[in-house]
Amino acid sequence: MPKSTAAKIAQSLEKGNVSPVYLLTGEDLFRKKEIIRKITAAVHPDDFNIYSSSCDKADFAEALALANTAPVFSDRRLVVLSGIEKLRKDPKEALVRYLENPLDTTVLVLTHDDAKKFKAEKALAAAAAAHGETADFAELKREELAMWVGNRFKENGLNARFDAVETLCEAVGGDLTALAGEIEKMALYAADREDKSVSKEDVLACVGFSKEENPFELSNAVQYLNKNKALALTDKLLDGGEDPVGVLGKISYPVLKMARIKRMVNAGMAPSDVARAAGLMFWENSLVNNARNFPSEEIFLKTLDRIIEADKAFKTSSASDPKTMIKGVLMTLFSGR
């Protein structure tokens, strides 16, 4: 049986189709837990017909015996074993033997949480795929993450604008638990709105920023080479009491990103490969196209030297004028522009 996906498994469960085996691989624990909840809801086991444990805490012989036992006054038994990458050789071989002939009244759900180790689990993967469904839950990157966030907004009844999705991804990153929590907060925030719309300003307000403040504005000004805006924002942030180390971080991160992109483009890499290697979100693809306008490697190196110098001065309290030092970093980056 070919590999499935979370969406396909969910669709199959909604139609009442439940497999005797589910093997969920990859390191995204949040989406695995969600699909396990859906499997559990579809099986709807009572207390006599459910067993759930991580493999490092389970009595594996007992768990496998339960999987081989008919349910009690029910149509199905559910057995969930997480972290099977921790099994030793003998228990793993016993598991493979079970998977080669699983009991059709048992729904066995397995999670393997180590992508590197799973590459060597050929017998386990083949046995699970032959009689059930396997799906990989790799951590979401770039377009996938934005799509997941957009769908999550819809599931919560919200109409999120593109800039809201972009801002939430930037603010929270790839932590799906945190993203889901923020979206739930926004569902309450927008509960009284007839159109259930969510904007960038709403996201900033909900994650703890004022509507007038965009935490990414300085970084964006740097990576899109807006000299005057970057200098003005530096004044605004420092005059507003922001820590110089934090302001410097908003400059150093995009500088390093731009330098990596420039090197890869100069090496002749395809734009899609550059975007993937640099970990760009899909709305940042224009950075690859603009790489020819980025400063030279010589200027990048001088800028990085000044960043290191400023960081050391701030952390040793030897900087007499933090604003001058940070503006010096920017002037070095923008020299010749």
- Average the pLDDT over 275-299 and give the result: 83
260 inside domain: yes
211 inside domain: no
* pLDDT for the residue 48: 92
Say if residue 29's pLDDT is above 70: yes
Q: Are residues 194 and 292 in the same domain?
A: no
Any idea what the CATH number is for the domain that residue 46 is in? 3.40.50.300
pLDDT tens-digit map of 184-234: 989 998 888 899 999 988 888 887 654 445 667 888 889 888 999 899 999
Whole-Å CA distances, 232 to 94, 106, 237, 327: 66, 64, 9, 10
0.85 exceeded by pTM: no
Q: Are residues 39 and 73 in the same domain?
A: yes
253 inside domain: yes
Say if residue 5's pLDDT is above 70: yes
* pLDDT for the residue 53: 93
- Please report which helix (H) or strand (E) contains residue 171, including its range: helix 162-172
121 inside domain: yes
Banded pLDDT at 284 (limits 50, 70, 90): confident
Q: Are residues 166 and 109 in the same domain?
A: no
Q: Are residues 180 and 245 in the same domain?
A: no
Q: Which residue has the tokens 């579809």?
A: 42
Any idea what the CATH number is for the domain that residue 178 is in? 1.10.8.60
212 inside domain: no
Q: Are residues 156 and 237 in the same domain?
A: no
**Chain-centre distance for alpha carbon 190:** 25
Query: Which of 206, 228, 250 is a domain's end point?
Result: 206
* pLDDT for the residue 224: 87
Q: Which range marks the domain in which residue 81 is found?
A: 6-136
Q: Which residue has the tokens 């300003």?
A: 201
* pLDDT for the residue 213: 55
SS3 labels along 89-131: HHHHHHHHHHHHCCCCCEEEEEEECCHHHHCCCHHHHHHHHHH
Pairwise CA distance, residues 168 & 13, whole Å = 30
Q: Are residues 86 and 131 in the same domain?
A: yes
Q: Are residues 321 and 256 in the same domain?
A: yes
296 inside domain: yes
Query: Which of 88, 113, 136 is a domain's end point?
Result: 136
pLDDT tens-digit map of 112-163: 998 888 988 999 999 999 999 999 998 887 788 889 999 999 999 999 988 8
Q: Are residues 314 and 298 in the same domain?
A: yes
Contact status, residue 108 vs residue 127, Cβ threshold 8 Å: no
User: Count of CB atoms within 10 A of residue 48's CB?
Assistant: 10
31: which 2 tokens? Answer: 């989406």
Pairwise CA distance, residues 208 & 262, whole Å = 34
Whole-Å CA distances, 215 to 65, 143, 148, 178, 242: 54, 21, 22, 18, 11
Query: Which of 157, 175, 206 is a domain's end point?
Result: 206
Whole-Å CA distances, 154 to 28, 174, 187, 188, 283: 21, 18, 10, 14, 20
**Count of domains forming the chain:** 3
Q: Are residues 28 and 76 in the same domain?
A: yes
Burial class (CB in 10 A: 0-12, 13-18, 19+), 282: middle
197 inside domain: yes
1 inside domain: no
Contact status, residue 114 vs residue 56, Cβ threshold 8 Å: no
Q: Are residues 197 and 224 in the same domain?
A: no
C-alpha torsion 109→115→116→121, nearest 10: 30
* pLDDT for the residue 211: 45
